[in-house]
Structure 1
Amino acid sequence: MSSMIRQWLKFLSKDDISSIVQINNLYKDEQHEEISKPEVKNHILVGDGGKVEIGDQTLTTKYPDGTIEYAFYRGEEVKTGVYTKLDKSLLLSEIGRYRDGRKHGIRWKRVAYHSWFLSSANSDYKDDIMRNSVFIYPDLSTALVGDFDENCMAFSDLEVAEIVGAVSNQAILIPSLRQCGMKIPCPLTDMSETVANQHCYRDPYEHRTVEVRESLIPEAGEGLFTTRSVMAGQLLAYFAGVKDKDKNGRQSDYAITLKDGQIIDIPTEIRTTYCATLGHKACHSFQPSAYYGYTTHPRFGEIRCVIALHNLEPGQEITTDYRYGIGKAPEWYINCLKEFLISKRGYSQEEAELYVTEIIAKAQTEKDKCINENICCRD
């Protein structure tokens, strides 16, 4: 069923008006409102809301922030019918319908890395909380149902569900959900509190995608492995943690930085039982199969994630390049670098030792140090 939704999203991702024209014609028998055909205008209006190109029943609005909306209109340019919106990178970011100039019915909004948020555009929400809405994971099969704010942060317990079908309602796909008999509690005040106090609730998408077991890398301890086939660019795991208040302190091997430079780590006291996210379990390699990206999660907000660099089969180990600053890197990382230079780059033992010694000395004496000069965590 995910393939049907994926094809629908791909079809609507075109950077022109043609996709919604075609889909509106395809589902015209479902229309509950008649769209009258005005004369062809083909002119442009410029206002505070952006530049509007008016065509034959179509409106293309180019907003100042670089986003674009494609929509239909009737009468005196009143928006009606299916619309799509692209972000400034021209990626599909929103799908829905207008009725008499207002957004109406189920609306799809893209969340970072191919997740989607479904809510009703015409309900009267109190406190800006969207009741009975749906967060859909990147596999387009796994979902969380509950109450969310406009930024897709959960404000209630979340029911885990599986998408088992989809029906069209006036050209908008509505997923059919089957409950999985599992609930995840409402997140606490922030990511740190949620990680510290709800660390044993596994993420359902990770549960279907990855597992933790002994790494194939000698003396590396536990590693992260795929449990199903994944494609290059697919999200593999999430990486949340507790925000570190001492930015100049020595972090563990599980520390990583967020977009704003804030460091998060997995506290020692919960490290053996923590499984709310599993991105921290990916072992280091200078020839990685994945990398660290940024995403948004309904329980933790803006966090890091692990993204596949190439296609992976079930049972393959997921590795990432930690990209430690060499001047503060732990000894195991330096030894790993030497081994990589010898086995993969053809260095002799002496050449590898000399090279590593030189770059460490350079890092320690460099005057223009980076913002994270006193810390050691994954980039």
Structure 2
Amino acid sequence: MEEENEEIEEEEEPLYVGQRDAEGNPNGRGTLKWLKSSRRFEGRFCSGMKQGRGCFYFKDGSSLSGTFRSDELHGEGTYTYPDGRLMIAQYVNGELDGPFTEYSETGDVMAKGEHREDRRFGFLQIFDEYGGILMGEVNRDTGELTGPGIAYVYPDKRSALLGRFSNSDMVCARPALLLTSVDQTPAKYALDENWSKTTLKLDESTSTCISCNPLTPDAYEQSKVYVSTCSDNPDKGEGLFAKTELAEGETVSFYNGLRLTHDEVDSRDWSLNANTITLDESMVLDVPLKYSSLDAYVASLGHKANHSSAPNCEYDHFVHPRFGHIKCIRTIKEVSKGNELTCDYGYSHKLPETDEEDLPEWYMTES
């Protein structure tokens, strides 16, 4: 970003409008304009150099503001991305050098770390919008989270997957427990003895393969929920239950599945759609009937949650280091240990010929 701007500045002589000193040099408040690049700087000058508060405005809608000293940004600077995201960082003589924090357009922290000579350096944390944190030492050559000793920390800020990552993607990792707070560096972990033989890899599903390791469960999910027969109504079959006391807003289960198009799902009989959920406008996640048994599939358990018109959970999006973009189940109220976890399925399907609702009878009855 800065290197490209410097090249533009060297190629094009800017136009100055503003106060000047007796020798004609920019002095006081003024504006520099690079006409070809549609770029400008507004701020204070002293003897021809940027000095004091100022801000660069770029063609793409981004900006960089802060305090300038001897023509260079020095101290705290704020870079505003075109989409409204912010990076507040320390600069030394125009270079990124020191701690930085990136914020989303809504003000949530997205990343925290350090720069050294314009590159990410040392310990880096990347926060996703679903509560997970990717953290570790950045690769000195690339400035990315690449190499061993990197961890994905689940939303509970305690459970983790520790191992080797490449450009923030999991290569291979093992379940672990974070022994320090997420803000403490260096972070300390202990491999989870209950999962000592489990090694996980990036395992995103396709339209034909739900998982390369369908019988390898998720340690975090297993600590939150279990599957059991619904004793209150045997006709419901199995359901998802709280293994421990769950707080409101807690991510408790994951919904992975085959990735099918809406047309593929809508064109087949409803009997084949018992375990489908919309992922986005183009994709549906499907757990086929052959994977309904825990003897065939335990990699994720979200499809085991039953429907209720008065649920205690809801579906939400989640980016999982193993499964990629999937759905999760999140509590919308406190749930006691042993209670069933339910969601509102929100079914909506109309026959194209008549525009009438074509829904399972059991759903129409319970809703």
TM-score clears 0.5: yes
Distance of 1:160 and 1:312 partners within structure 2: 25
Change (3 A) 1:42 1:194: farther
Distance of 2:182 and 2:163 partners within structure 1: 21
Aligned pairs for 1:349-364 within 5 A: none
Distance of 1:222 and 1:208 partners within structure 2: 18
Q: Is 1:144 equivalent to 2:144 in the alignment?
A: no
**For this pair of structures, how many residues does the alignment match?**
292
Q: Is there any run of 5+ residues in structure 1 with no aligned partner, and where? A: 1-38, 338-379
Report SS of the residue matched to 1:79.
Answer: strand
Q: Is 1:51 equivalent to 2:63 in the alignment?
A: yes
Match of 1:363 in 2: none
Report SS of the residue matched to 1:184.
Answer: coil
Q: Is 1:106 equivalent to 2:106 in the alignment?
A: no
Distance of 1:324 and 1:186 partners within structure 2: 33
Quote the offset at 1:86 in angstroms: 0.6
Distance of 1:91 and 1:334 partners within structure 2: 40
Q: Is 1:179 equivalent to 2:197 in the alignment?
A: no
Give the partner amino acid of 1:111: D
Quote the offset at 1:81 in angstroms: 1.7
Q: Is there any run of 5+ residues in structure 2 with no aligned partner, and where? A: 1-49, 68-73, 350-356
CA RMSD of aligned residues (A): 2.6
Match of 1:320 in 2: 343
Q: Is 1:304 equivalent to 2:327 in the alignment?
A: yes
Report SS of the residue matched to 1:302.
Answer: strand
Quote the offset at 1:46 in angstroms: 1.6
Distance of 2:51 and 2:337 partners within structure 1: 55
Distance of 1:164 and 1:131 partners within structure 2: 21
Structure that is richer in helix per residue:
1
Match of 1:279 in 2: 302
Change (3 A) 1:194 1:205: farther
Quote the offset at 1:167 in angstroms: 9.0
Partner residue of 2:223 out of 196, 203, 208: 208
Distance of 1:287 and 1:111 partners within structure 2: 29
Query: What CA deviation, in whole Å up to 9, does each residue of 1:179-224 have, x standing for no partner?
Result: 1224234245645566344111110110111111122552211111
Distance of 2:334 and 2:151 partners within structure 1: 28
Q: Any conservation in 1 of the 2:202–2:322 contact (CA below 8 Å)? A: yes
Q: Any conservation in 2 of the 1:130–1:149 contact (CA below 8 Å)? A: yes
Match of 1:32 in 2: none
Q: Any conservation in 2 of the 1:215–1:223 contact (CA below 8 Å)? A: yes
Q: Which has the higher contact order (CA 8 A, sep 6+)?
A: 1
Q: Any conservation in 2 of the 1:160–1:182 contact (CA below 8 Å)? A: no
Q: Any conservation in 1 of the 2:159–2:175 contact (CA below 8 Å)? A: yes
Change (3 A) 1:194 1:166: farther
Query: What CA deviation, in whole Å up to 9, does each residue of 1:48-68 have, x standing for no partner?
Result: 572122048211111112110
**Percent of aligned pairs with the same residue?**
24
Partner residue of 2:52 out of 27, 36, 41: 41
Q: Any conservation in 2 of the 1:164–1:178 contact (CA below 8 Å)? A: yes
Match of 1:249 in 2: 268
Change (3 A) 1:117 1:196: closer
Change (3 A) 1:125 1:131: farther
Distance of 1:225 and 1:167 partners within structure 2: 29
Give the partner amino acid of 2:336: E
Give the partner amino acid of 1:114: G
Q: Is 1:331 equivalent to 2:348 in the alignment?
A: no
Change (3 A) 1:298 1:77: same
Report SS of the residue matched to 2:201.
Answer: coil
Change (3 A) 1:68 1:123: same
**Larger of the two Rg values belongs to structure:** 2
Distance of 1:185 and 1:194 partners within structure 2: 16
Query: What CA deviation, in whole Å up to 9, does each residue of 1:287-321 have, x standing for no partner?
Result: 11111111111111111111111222322221100
Give the partner amino acid of 1:236: V
Partner residue of 2:109 out of 51, 74, 92: 92
TM-score by length of 2: 0.73
